[in-house]
Structure 1
Amino acid sequence: MKMQNWMSILWPAFLLACATELLVFALVDPIDLHWRGEAIGLSRQAVYTGGFFVFWMLAAGASALTLLLTRGAKEINSQEG
């Protein structure tokens, strides 16, 4: 995959992850999060970091799918490997 394609996926995903991080953690305090009835036990910074990477990977998946769906059949089938 070309570097331009990677940047077309990762840069918008990064920006969306930043915006999502701001919105989610403006409303949710990481210390108040629970998993299966127990406190998570991670610091705020660890939850912010983990949340950012989860949001980034979700947005990157959406961007990659969008890039795949905008390509024509000839372009997809003409690639080797």
Structure 2
Amino acid sequence: MWTQRLMWIVWPAFLTACVLEMLVFAMVDPEDLHWFGQPLALSRLGVYTVAFFVFWAVSMGSGALTALLAMSSRELNRDQVPGDDDPTA
């Protein structure tokens, strides 16, 4: 169950990160980016890579929060109820 729920979070987040990467870098040149007034020390490919993983992490956080809020209170508290072995009930 947890692996399925994890894939419900990771896969859409991956696709979202892909779309965000295309949209952002269609309009922004990584060579023009500055951090605290200094040019970035990363190559163009490095900026693309870091940005993708940031987009993916933020999207996964959003998906994980959605999955958490979609869980029933019984499912969340199943370890605290003695004798309750059925989390779907």
- Between stretches 1-10 and 31-40, larger displacement belongs to 1-10
Partner of 1:28: 28
* Unaligned 5+ runs, structure 2: 81-89
> What per-residue deviation string (whole Å, max 9, x for no partner) do you get for residues 25-60 of structure 1?
001000000000000021110000000000000000
Q: TM-score, normalising length from structure 1? A: 0.94
Identity among equivalent pairs (%): 54
Partner of 2:15: 15
CA distance in 2, matches of 1:79, 1:17: 34
CA distance in 1, matches of 2:28, 2:51: 11
How far the C-alpha of 1:79 sits from its partner, in A, is 3.7
Larger RCO: 1 or 2 (CA < 8 Å, sep 6+): 1
Q: Select the structure of larger CA radius of gyration.
A: 2
- How many residue pairs were aligned? 80
- Between stretches 71-80 and 51-60, larger displacement belongs to 71-80
Q: Aligned Cα RMSD in Å?
A: 1.2
How far the C-alpha of 1:13 sits from its partner, in A, is 0.3
Partner of 2:49: 49
How far the C-alpha of 1:65 sits from its partner, in A, is 0.2
* Unaligned 5+ runs, structure 1: none
